[in-house]
Structure 1
Amino acid sequence: MAEYADREHYIPVRVTDLIDYLASDAGPAGGQPLTPDDQTRFRRFARAVTLHIHALYHAELRQLEDSYASFDPDGDPKPLKKLDPGASAAAQKELFGTFTHLMGRANYTHLSRPELEVVMAGASDWGIDMDIPWGAFDQVEVFVRGKGMSKRFKRNWRNRFRLEEVRVPTFNRVAVIFKQRPHKRLGKEADTDSVFLKLFKDIPQMDIEMLLPGGRVKMPWFERVKLGGSLSSTVGYVGWKLSAANLGGLAAALFAGSTAALLALYAPVALVLGYGYKTWYSFQVSKQTYSLQLTQSLYYQNLDNNAGVMYRLLDEAEEQECRETLLSYFYLWRYAADRGWTAAELDDYVELDLERRLNMEVDFEIADALAKLERAGIVSKTGDRYRAVPLEAAQATLDQMWQQYPSRGIPASGGA
């Protein structure tokens, strides 16, 4: 069973398209298509699988809604009873734990604080390095999925400031969950009672800090050097002018209110203040320009907020579980025959087939899918080899499970 450090578990294909792809399977050589009857039976089985998984996730969605209700800044209506501090802390811990578990099932990677600081070091050509006030968060977690390259356009002085295309490494998806605490960076009106959820797409890897509130723009080293150099040179010039003058006579003239003495000092002092203000103002303009670009960019890169993030991610986790379940059963049923396959053999076959025919390089997560199929009774295990039960028997098992859902408190919206 191959393991890949550069591949993710996420399978980038819609469940509906995957069912069509499997039903039209014609074998490795292309000459063994499923019969029309087998296609019909497999499609019915696949529909039953998706309905069962949806029913289970619907129950989980209700639990998540209840956990988030007390922390939802957009909740309407609000809960009738407000949690006391002790209960709120326990509920917050449970919410963050549940969300982290959900992100794992949706095949997101959790970035720890040290990992975040490494990723956030510096800035891309479209960002400005920012200082994040970690003390402003009671708790904050960041999750990413998918590494890719996105197109950006910039003007380069080497190319006479014409627009040129540049490829920048990005995270395809970034999810953030955080709860704030009182902090001067957030202002007096900051909401410190709610838990905020944010979901973004195509974020440059080095600019992930721009998604967190309270960040303060760092002055680039070039601007620091320019400001420091300007001040040092002008202060040196003032010192030289003063050393060249008769300090005793100049002091006496200043004390007497001499206009000439004041004019003698005006030029170097104005030079110091002018250079300093010009550099500071230039940096402020850069900050404002970046803030505008950031607002315009995130307008299109923001996918969802707060409760909407939960619904979207739960749907992604549901789809991923459907993909893994259908792929595992299908290849066992279609190719493993009576001898069966080990988990490693099934894992390798699925990965190779997806890569060969769909050009998808994934690290198939086989263990969880096989465990679910075995518990459901539609895959059997002897020793280390797995076999799919016949399609008719698997369908009957799913139909029987469906009838048991109402007694287990799981809503069933329709038959399989």
Structure 2
Amino acid sequence: MLQSHHFIPLNSQDLVNACLQRENADKPSVALVAQRLRAVLHQEAYRTQTELIEAYTPIDPDLDTVNIAHHNTASFDGGHFKMLFEKVLKQANFIRLSRHDLQAALKESSLFNIRLDINFDDFDDVLLYCRGVNQKTETLTQWFGLRKKVISFTNYDRVVLYLRFKTVNSLGDNTQLLGRSGRTMLKLFRNVPKADLEMLFPNTRIGMRTIDKLLIGVPALVSGVVVLTTKLGATLVLLGGLLGFWLGLHHKPVELNVATLLALGAGLGTLAGYCWKQFSTFKNRKLRFAQALTQNLYFKSLDNNAGVFYRLMADAEDEEFKEAFLAWYFLQQRATPMEPSELDYEIEQWFITLNANVKTDFEIDDALNKLERLGLAKNQNGLWLALSAKEAKAHLLNLYCG
């Protein structure tokens, strides 16, 4: 089954090598163009990275340096950082999930049989971005392993979470989040089912599903009736007599001797033990849910906070290079100008010949705009013409050295 991607799921060097293996390729010049194009784009990425670092410093929850600029975090809204961060996400071919998408995901049943609740009042701003959307299947066991069910679900290869926390006063007594007050948290995850997006939030609370409540409540009710009618019968009669005498319902006093006191104590002890057992059953089930959630997140988490945009910068730079290089390479292979749609079709068909399992949705407009900005191609009345390999390598050397 073909899977559609908004990013290019190929290693950049493998992509260049695949182009070099094609016929009519000026291999030395094309290889040098790739090297110099990567260097020019790396310079641009470094400038963006420096801006990101400066913009994130006042709102970084993991900052370990002294702040001599005296930024007031509460009044620093991080708007400039958010703008830069979303720009990098777009360059890395991530897609923003709307609030509607998130709400729809929260309503879906979790693959891990856990009900999770999120308090969005803890945040001033929430952003979710994903990359690599595909359909997967999973076999789930039900009824204590007696039944297996194969389900199909939407999965995201990469998910980025942006959370802007409210100030201390707004967070109230939530001590778990007070250290994040006014800060911006970034998280990067891999292989996240759409139905389990809520597990990525730091203030997620584990709840009991209706089926879980029934699995605990029904046996507890049945066993409770058994305990009351068998082991607590004498105790209930004694307590009823004492209560009736105290309320004036009858005038015959209840004799409290050693035997009745021992019976009363044994009955109350049995009742206390039964209640403790049911409470322990409930807590143990929640602990198993928490363990499942923790283990799942352990293998899905890729990076946190500043580490997220460092990784995303590398991804964005790589995607920018692959898009620009492919558009230039296929364009300069033609002696005559090409229409964008024609060039887009040719590149996407080439991807299919490389990997029959992946259908790449190549962003031709973005790629051509980069070539025009870098001076590697020009638009002539809707038709595009690129510099030759020899012209391009000389032009890129001037850009890099200049």
- TM-score category by the smaller chain? 0.7 to 0.9
8 Å contact kept, 1:72–1:194:
yes
Shift in Å, 1:16 = 1.1
Q: What is the alpha-carbon distance in structure 2 between the residues aligned to residue 329 and residue 64 of structure 1?
A: 29
Q: Structure 1: how far apart are the matches of 2:308 and 2:95?
A: 16
Provide the rounded CA distance (Å) in 1 between the counterparts of 2:342 and 2:359. Answer: 17
Are residues 1:98 and 2:84 paired? yes
1:177 is paired with a residue of what secondary structure? strand
Say whether 1:194 aligns with 2:194.
no
- 8 A contact 1:185–1:214 mirrored in 2: no
Give CA-to-partner distance per residue, 1:330-350, whole Å, 9 cap, x none. 11111x322x21011111111
Q: What 5-or-longer segments of structure 1 have no aligned partner? A: 26-32, 405-416
Matched, 1:180 2:172: no
Aligned residues with identical type, % of pairs: 27
Aligned to 1:283: 282
By how many angstroms is 1:361 displaced? 0.5
Conserved in 2, the CA contact under 8 Å of 1:23 and 1:42?
A: yes
Correspondent of 1:218 among 199, 204, 207 = 207
Shift of 1:324: 0.4
AA of the residue aligned to 1:142 = L
The equivalent residue for 2:350 is 353
Instruction: Give the Å deviation of 1:51.
Output: 0.5
Structure-2 change in CA distance of 1:160 and 1:224 (3 Å):
closer
Change (3 A) 1:199 1:249: closer
Q: Which residue of 1 aligns with 2:37?
A: 49
Q: Tell me if structure 1 keeps the 8 A contact 2:119–2:203.
A: yes
Structure 2 CA distance for partners of 1:195 and 1:249, relative to 1, 3 Å = closer
Q: Summarize deviations over 1:358-405 as a string: whole Å, max 9, x none.
A: 33301110101101212322212211111112222222221222232x
Counterparts of 2:310 and 2:384 in 1: how far apart (Å)?
34
Gaps of 5+ in 2: 248-252
**TM-score by structure 1 length?**
0.79
Q: Does 1:252 align with 2:244?
A: yes
- Which residue number corresponds to residue 342 of structure 1? 339
Range moving further from structure 2, 223-232 or 138-147: 223-232
Partner of 1:28: none
Determine the C-alpha separation between the residues in 2 that align with 1:187 and 1:53.
41
Q: TM-score, normalised by structure 2?
A: 0.82
C-alpha distance in 1, partners of 2:79/2:304? 20
Structure 2 counterpart of 1:396: 394
Mapped contact 1:136–1:186 kept (Cα < 8 A): no
Amino acid paired to 1:309 = V
- Contact 1:250 1:261 survives alignment (8 Å): no
Distance 1:160 1:230 in 2: 19
Q: Distance in 2 between matches of 1:284 and 1:40?
A: 67
What's the secondary structure of 1:70's corresponding residue? helix
Is 1:80 aligned to 2:68, yes or no? Answer: yes
Aligned partner of 2:250 in structure 1 is none
Give the 3-state SS of the residue equivalent to 1:120 in structure 2. helix
Q: What's 2:10 paired with? A: 13
Is 2:155–2:191's contact at 8 Å kept on the other side of the alignment? yes
Judging changes above 3 Å, is the alpha-carbon distance between structure 1 residues 257 and 103 closer, same or farther for their aligned structure 2 residues?
farther
